[in-house]
């Protein structure tokens, strides 16, 4: 009787091919995926950023009136490098500003509040914003204690909505910041009032008024969640 021909590929060979295939697949797939995700890994996992960490001038705080927020635009230096090529900002014509990130900042005077603890906020507003009286007497040449007093009363807020980042606007009639995208609402202190944002507006954490009466900021925000247990989006 003729001998049966032996199967040229055994079960262990088959499994070995499978493992080899998986390894080769991983080698081919991981580098491109890591390259695509590297900006996210850099910012969200490692907490690093391409945006410069130095101080940037915002403007004179004396321009901020007593009861309405004022809008300033600042340019942070930025260095985005892909491979060996730096990517220029196509929206900026000035050659000196090609590598910049433009941010809008809202400045306002803090309104007194009832209690601490609202989500990313300072609590319910119970009075009018309090502009430091020293600003009625001078606009520069501030002493250290005057600068501290000014900073203790100043809201320095990013205009990126805390929901999905749309630019918020101040509505004079409602006396609230409104987000045009999904109806987020914030009070003059940047506190959450309504809509889908899970917290209040982002505050610049590194901000200082100098002797010349101008505000300077670094590109740093309070991104940690607040503590408001009443907010529907907080578990």
A 10 A CB-CB count for 155 gives 23
Strand partners, 216: 57, 208
- Element at 170 (helix H, strand E): strand 169-171
**Minimum distance of ligand FES from residue 165's CB (angstroms):** 6
**Minimum distance of ligand FES from residue 160's CB (angstroms):** 9
Restricting to residues 176-205, which ones interact with ligand FES according to CB under 6 A?
Answer: 179, 181-184, 195-197
CB closer to ligand FES, 151 vs 181: 181
Quote the tokens at residue 152.
């203790």
x/- map, 87-126, ligand FES, by CB under 6 A: ----------------------------------------
**Minimum distance of ligand FES from residue 33's CB (angstroms):** 28
A 10 A CB-CB count for 189 gives 24
A 10 A CB-CB count for 193 gives 19
**Minimum distance of ligand FES from residue 192's CB (angstroms):** 11
Tell me how far apart the alpha carbons of residues 181 and 175 are, in angstroms, rounded to a whole number: 18
Tell me how far apart the alpha carbons of residues 149 and 213 are, in angstroms, rounded to a whole number: 12
CB closer to ligand FES, 25 vs 180: 180
Tell me how far apart the alpha carbons of residues 59 and 209 are, in angstroms, rounded to a whole number: 9
CB closer to ligand FES, 184 vs 226: 184
x/- map, 140-169, ligand FES, by CB under 6 A: ---------------------x-xx-x---
**Minimum distance of ligand FES from residue 200's CB (angstroms):** 12
């Amino acid at each position: 009787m003729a001998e049966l021909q032996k199967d040229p590929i055994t079960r262990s060979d088959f499994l070995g091919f499978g493992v080899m295939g998986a390894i080769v697949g991983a080698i081919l797939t991981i580098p491109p995926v890591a390259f695509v995700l590297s900006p996210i890994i850099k910012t969200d996992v490692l907490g690093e950023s391409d945006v410069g960490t130095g101080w940037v001038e915002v403007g004179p705080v004396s321009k901020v009136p007593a009861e309405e927020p004022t809008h300033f635009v600042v340019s942070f230096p930025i260095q985005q490098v892909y491979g060996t090529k730096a990517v220029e900002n196509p929206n900026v014509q000035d050659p000196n500003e090609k590598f910049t990130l433009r941010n809008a900042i809202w400045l306002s005077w803090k309104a007194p509040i009832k209690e601490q603890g609202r989500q990313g906020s300072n609590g319910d507003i119970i009075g009018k914003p309090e502009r430091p009286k020293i600003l009625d007497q001078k606009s520069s040449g501030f002493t250290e204690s005057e600068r501290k007093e000014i900073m203790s009363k100043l809201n320095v807020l990013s205009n990126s909505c805390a929901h999905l980042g749309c630019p918020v606007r101040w509505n004079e009639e409602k006396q609230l910041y409104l987000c045009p995208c999904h109806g987020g609402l914030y009070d003059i202190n940047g506190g959450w009032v309504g809509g889908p944002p899970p917290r209040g507006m982002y505050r610049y954490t590194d901000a200082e008024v100098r002797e010349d009466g101008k505000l300077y900021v670094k590109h740093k925000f309070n991104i940690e969640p607040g503590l408001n247990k009443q907010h529907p989006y907080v578990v």
